[in-house]
Amino acid sequence: MAPQAFALFDTPIGTCGVAWNKNGIAGMQLTAGTVGKTRAHAAKRWPSAVEAPPPPGVQRALERVLSLLSGAKDDLADLPLDLEDAPDFQRKVWDVARAVPPGQTITYGEIGKRLGVGPERAREIGQAMGSNPIPIIVPCHRVLAASGKMGGFSAPGGVATKRRMLEIEGAAAVGAGPLFG
């Protein structure tokens, strides 16, 4: 189901966006660098949604997201999401990623093993992570390449944003080293 509304909110990584509908949170937009760019990305992603203040349930979810992005160890796993339009395989991949606690990481191959699929599905797993509509809550930033290196990150800000979120969470396996060395 398409998002009905969206809101922007300030975080330690920059202004982000959240979209929701009656089923739950339907999207997150990571910072695009400025409020204006983030708003433009959000409006393009969710063209039928109107910008509005978040209702109480979404506001509580945002408070938890902000807490996580400030270093708290909240896994956000109980937040209601609307992923009903996503293919089944992608939802399974995202469920595995959602089970990874803050400060820990997993590889694409480990996701495949948990799903009981072979390495021939690695590309599909990567595509699922790249098409994740709800980053942070579905923590695709916690998924690393087989070597333990950062790998790619399709969100605005790319690998620097991924690394920053992992550093905030205190992840020990930040293979590319500190962002500000």
Residues assigned a catalytic role? 140
CA distance 9 to 162: 18
Give the 3-state DSSP-derived string for 1-55, with helices as H, strands as E and coil as C.
CCCCEEEEEEECCEEEEEEEECCEEEEEECCCCCHHHHHHHHHHHCCCCEECCCC
* Paired tokens of 139: 């923590």
User: Given the structure tokens 């945002």, which residue do they identify?
Assistant: 62
> Could you give the CA distance from residue 140 to residue 48 in angstroms, rounded to a whole number?
26
